[in-house]
Amino acid sequence: MKTEDRNEITNLINLYALAVDTQRWELFNQVFTADAEADFGGGAHWYDLETFMRDFAVFHDPFDATQHSMSNLQLVANGENANVLTYGHWRLLREVEGGNLWEGAGWYDDRLVRTDDGWRIKHRVCRVLWWAGNNLVRE
């Protein structure tokens, strides 16, 4: 994989975290294709970017703050396609009874395509491996 592709894809993965934590959903247009499919497990499955952005905005709006950290990227490119496995760790904060923190970690398995505007995620699978804290923060 070319260094410039590796750098662009790494920046793309990090831009996702920035978009979520700043609730700048329009940045998803620079991360995902318009027809992106996203599977976050437990019935959370989207088949287009517009619905994905809308639902993420609704879910994240009540939080006082969030922090997503992306790491351990494993990238494999094959021409105009790439696969990336990324570890993620996220913290969600909101004042509720029983404690204000819920955090978890897991992985993102992404299939990317090279577009005229650069690399974009076309298909994402996210799975939580562990979580801790007050589950009411998420509800």
d(CA 105, CA 128): 6
pLDDT at 1: 82
- Name the token pair of 13: 């993965």
CA atoms within a 13 Å half-sphere pointing along the CA-CB vector of 35 = 2
pTM for the complete prediction?
0.95
What's the pLDDT at 29? 98
- Write out the chain's pLDDT in tens, 139 residues: 889 999 999 999 999 999 999 999 999 999 999 999 999 999 999 999 999 999 999 999 999 999 999 999 999 999 999 999 999 999 999 999 999 999 999 999 999 999 999 999 999 999 999 999 999 999 8
The three-state secondary structure class of 56 is: helix
- Strands 32-39 and 118-133, how do they pair? parallel
CB 1 within 8 A of CB 76: yes
d(CA 46, CA 18): 20
Amino acid at 91: R
Burial 20-30 (b: 16+ CB within 10 A, else e): bbeeebebbee
